[in-house]
C-alpha cells in the first residue's frame, strides 16, 4: 500500500525467498532448510539478494523484512554510502499473542501477491483479486512461528536499536487492520 501510494519499488525478502524455493533455483535450494525450520537465512545469501535488487531499483524503494540482523543493517549502510541518512526504518509493533493469531489466520494467493485472512477468503474460497487458489504459507505453523519470534527478539531487536541511535527509526503500532496501520504510518511520515 505504501509503495503504491508513494510510487516506490518494493521487495519483500521473505516473499522473494519463497518464490525462489518454489522455482527450485540455487538460492531457493540453499534457503530451504532455514525457511523450513523458521531460522533466518544466512546473511550472505540475503545480502546478495537485497543489494542486487537495490542496484536495479529506481530512486525510491521499500525493503520489507530487511535488514533483519545487525550485519545486514551495517552492510546496507556501507552500500548506500552518503544516501544512508535518507533511509528510515519502520518498526511495526504488535503483541506476540496477536501475531500468533494472525499467522494462523493468514492465507496467500498461489498466483498473485494477495495476502489476507481466512475470514476474508471464506466468502468465495478463492483469491478476491484474481480468483486464484489460496494456500497457507508453508512456514506459518505454530512451531515455526515461535522460532521466528525468537530469532526476531535475538537478532532484530539490535537492528531497531541501531536505527534508533542514528535517529532513523520510526516505531508504529501494528495493531488493527492493514488500513489502520497504513494511516498511522503515513501520519508519522507526514510529521517527519
Ligand atoms: P517474511 O516473509 O519476512 O516473514 O520472511 C520469511 C522467512 O524468510 C523468515 O522467517 C526468514 O527465514 C527468511 N528471511 C526473510 N528475510 C530475511 C532476512 N532479511 N534475513 C534473514 N532471513 C530472512
Q: Which of 33, 36, 43 is nearest to 13 (CA)?
A: 43
The pairing of beta strand 106-109 with beta strand 115-117? antiparallel
- Determine whether 123 is exposed, middle or buried from the number of CB atoms within 10 Å of its CB (0-12, 13-18, 19+): exposed
Distance (angstroms) between ligand 1 centre and the Cα of 37 equals 11
Strand, helix or coil at 176? coil
Domain count of the chain?
1
- Determine whether 120 is exposed, middle or buried from the number of CB atoms within 10 Å of its CB (0-12, 13-18, 19+): middle
How many Å separate Cα 7 from the centre of its chain?
Answer: 18
Spell out which residues line ligand 1, taking CB within 6 angstroms.
Answer: 12-15, 17, 34-35, 38, 40-41, 46, 65-66, 68, 72, 148
Residue 44 vs residue 140, higher pLDDT: 44
Percentage of the chain with pLDDT > 90?
Answer: 77
Q: What is the pLDDT of residues 34-81, one digit of tens each?
A: 999 889 999 999 999 999 999 998 789 999 999 999 999 999 999 999
> What is each CA distance from 138 to 56, 103, 141, 143, in whole angstroms?
29, 11, 7, 12
Give the pLDDT confidence score for residue 110 in this predicted structure. Answer: 84
The three three-digit cell numbers of residue 11, written as one number: 521487495
Bridge partner residues of 12 (DSSP)? 64
Give the pLDDT confidence score for residue 113 in this predicted structure. Answer: 80
Give the mean pLDDT of the chain: 93
- Using most ligand atoms within 8 A of CB, pick from 17, 33, 62, 136 the residue to mutate for ligand 1: 17
- CA 144 to ligand 1: nearest atom: 10
Distance (angstroms) between ligand 1 centre and the Cα of 39 equals 8
CA max distance for the chain: 50
- Using most ligand atoms within 8 A of CB, pick from 10, 11, 12, 14 the residue to mutate for ligand 1: 14
- CA 68 to ligand 1: nearest atom: 19
Distance (angstroms) between ligand 1 centre and the Cα of 123 equals 30
Q: Which residue range is the domain that position 132 belongs to? A: 2-188
For residues 116-140, average pLDDT? 86
How many Å separate Cα 137 from the centre of its chain?
Answer: 13
Q: What is the pLDDT of residues 98-112, one digit of tens each?
A: 999 999 999 988 888
The three three-digit cell numbers of residue 117, written as one number: 485472512
pLDDT > 90? residue 189: no
Phi, psi of 191 (to 5 degrees): -80, -20
Give the pLDDT confidence score for residue 192 in this predicted structure. Answer: 72
CATH number at residue 64: 3.40.50.300
> What is each CA distance from 57 to 63, 81, 83, 112, in whole angstroms?
11, 16, 14, 21
pLDDT > 80? residue 123: no
The owner of cell 537478532 is 155
pLDDT band of residue 119 (cuts 50, 70, 90) is confident
Distance (angstroms) between ligand 1 centre and the Cα of 132 equals 25
Amino acid at each position: 500500500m505504501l509503495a503504491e501510494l508513494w510510487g516506490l519499488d518494493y521487495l519483500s525478502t521473505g516473499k522473494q525467498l519463497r518464490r525462489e524455493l518454489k522455482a527450485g533455483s540455487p538460492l531457493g535450494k540453499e534457503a530451504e532448510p532455514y525457511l523450513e525450520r523458521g531460522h533466518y537465512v544466512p546473511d550472505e545469501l540475503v545480502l546478495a539478494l537485497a543489494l542486487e535488487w537495490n542496484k536495479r531499483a529506481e530512486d525510491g524503494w521499500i525493503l520489507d523484512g530487511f535488514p533483519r540482523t545487525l550485519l545486514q543493517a551495517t552492510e546496507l549502510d556501507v552500500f548506500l554510502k552518503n544516501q544512508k541518512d535518507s533511509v528510515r526504518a519502520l518498526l511495526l509493533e504488535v503483541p506476540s499473542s496477536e501475531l500468533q493469531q494472525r499467522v494462523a489466520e493468514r492465507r496467500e494467493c498461489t498466483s498473485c501477491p494477495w495476502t489476507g485472512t481466512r475470514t476474508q477468503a471464506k466468502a468465495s474460497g478463492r483469491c478476491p483479486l484474481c480468483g486464484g487458489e489460496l494456500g497457507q504459507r508453508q512456514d506459518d505453523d505454530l512451531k515455526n512461528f515461535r522460532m521466528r519470534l525468537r530469532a526476531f527478539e535475538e537478532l532484530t531487536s539490535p537492528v531497531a536499536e541501531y536505527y534508533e541511535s542514528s535517529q532513523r527509526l520510526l516505531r508504529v503500532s501494528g495493531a488493527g487492520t492493514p488500513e489502520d496501520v497504513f494511516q498511522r504510518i503515513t501520519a508519522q511520515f507526514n510529521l517527519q
